[in-house]
Amino acid sequence: MLRLSTLALLAISVPALAQEINVYSHRQPELIQPLVDAFTAETGIKVNVAFVDKGMAERLQAEGDRSPADLVLTVDIARLAQIVEADVVQPVQSAVLEANIPETLRDPNDKWFGLTSRARIVYASKERVQPGEVTTYEDLASEKWKGRICSRSGLNDYNIALLGAMVARNGEEAATKWIEGVKANLARKPEGGDRDQVKAIAAGECDIAIGNTYYIGQMLNDPEQKAAAEAVNLVFPTFVGGGTHLNISGVAMTKSAPNKENALKFMEWLSGDTAQKIYAETNYEYPVKPGVERSALVQSWGEFTPDTTPLADIAKARAAALKIMETVNFDG
């Protein structure tokens, strides 16, 4: 009887231990937690999230088959491309993911899947920048913006992706000339994050800055940052002959994935209605699943035409964009 009881306990305990997944995340924990809580409440599957700001691909390579990570959550198409190139993720076939995520926002080889999109736009002072003054990204290199632009580090993934899009569209020479022009127009050395640029505009240190849309939503719902956010307009510039630059957050399954079945459940859930609504309402991002509405605040920002430069082309241009940023010493 004792032996049977022991086996029975083991039979119960093993599935219980398996009801979890481990996620390595580039995304800030506070952005992920509402999703984790909702998924666990609905499924009973625990999600352990480790915030990995740098060296994600290198860490997974070093851990190899021993890695506890099931999934990678990351921002920026270039970072998704990096983990694919590092050969640390596996393809995932899922009818649910295919139905929920447009083909243009997932890897042709099923190794990554976009979960949200965001536009990289211009924050413009309501007091010092007139409507219609900013229309294109190329215009940011114009001398009229001399001493009027604030920016976070040029080496930040978001800025590298924007420059990569410029490389993909116009070539390295034109992209180099453009970023040199933007640098010449900086009001101060690059510092802080996108929210810090909004605060700098509100403080009169500069008139415009480049940033992601969702940061404004977060600031407007923070009593300490609301006044700064209310001091700027959101302008959706386009590339000359193109649209507004979009990037994505996405997910991929690691090669090691010790909890593959539950990891797939989480991937599919993240692409579904509940998670997409949380992304929209809590993080102020653009849902990727067709039919899921943007938050009322995001809708109030208006419509825009997304650029059609393939995300894969932007990812391929990352190395060239990084080299250009370093060559022009954007942060210097």
Q: Give the pLDDT confidence of 118-172 residue by residue, as tens digits.
A: 999 999 999 999 999 999 999 999 999 999 999 999 999 899 999 999 999 999 9
For residue 166, give its domain range. Answer: 118-245+304-328
Residue 298 covered by a domain? no
At 3 the pLDDT is: 38
Residues 279 and 135 in one domain: no
At 53 the pLDDT is: 84
Residues 185 and 308 in one domain: yes
- Between 53 and 38, the more confident residue is 38
Residues 199 and 235 in one domain: yes
Residue 11 covered by a domain? no
> 72 near 78, Cβ under 8 Å?
no
CATH number at residue 74: 3.40.190.10
Residues 145 and 257 in one domain: no
Query: Which of 4-18, 189-203, 217-231 is least confident?
Result: 4-18
Residues 55 and 123 in one domain: no
pLDDT digits 0-9 by tens, 252-262: 999 999 999 99
Residues 189 and 308 in one domain: yes
Residue 94 covered by a domain? yes
Task: Share the mean pLDDT of the chain.
Answer: 92
Residues 87 and 123 in one domain: no
Residues 123 and 113 in one domain: no
> Span 227-249, mean pLDDT?
97
At 18 the pLDDT is: 55
pLDDT digits 0-9 by tens, 280-292: 999 999 999 999 9
Residues paired with 119 in a beta bridge: 246
Residue 179 covered by a domain? yes
Tell me how far CA of residue 148 lies from CA of 75, 143, 156, 188, 320, in angstroms: 28, 10, 20, 9, 27
pLDDT digits 0-9 by tens, 54-85: 899 999 999 999 999 999 999 888 889 889 99
The contacts found for 97-106 with CB under 8 angstroms, 24 or more apart, are 97/267, 97/268, 97/271, 100/268, 100/271, 100/272, 100/276, 100/288, 100/289, 101/271, 101/288, 101/289, 102/288, 102/290, 104/310, 104/311, 105/248, 105/288, 105/311
Residues 138 and 233 in one domain: yes
Above 50 in pLDDT, residue 12?
Answer: no
pLDDT digits 0-9 by tens, 159-217: 999 999 999 999 999 999 999 999 999 999 999 999 999 999 999 999 999 999 999 99
pTM of the model: 0.85
At 79 the pLDDT is: 87
At 36 the pLDDT is: 96
Residue 8 covered by a domain? no
At 13 the pLDDT is: 37
Residues 102 and 154 in one domain: no
Above 80 in pLDDT, residue 2?
Answer: no
Q: What are phi and psi of 38, to 5 degrees?
A: -65, -40
Number of domains in the chain: 2
Residues 113 and 170 in one domain: no
Residue 230 covered by a domain? yes
pLDDT digits 0-9 by tens, 300-321: 999 999 999 988 899 889 999 9
Residue 207 covered by a domain? yes
Residues 309 and 208 in one domain: yes
Residue 4 covered by a domain? no
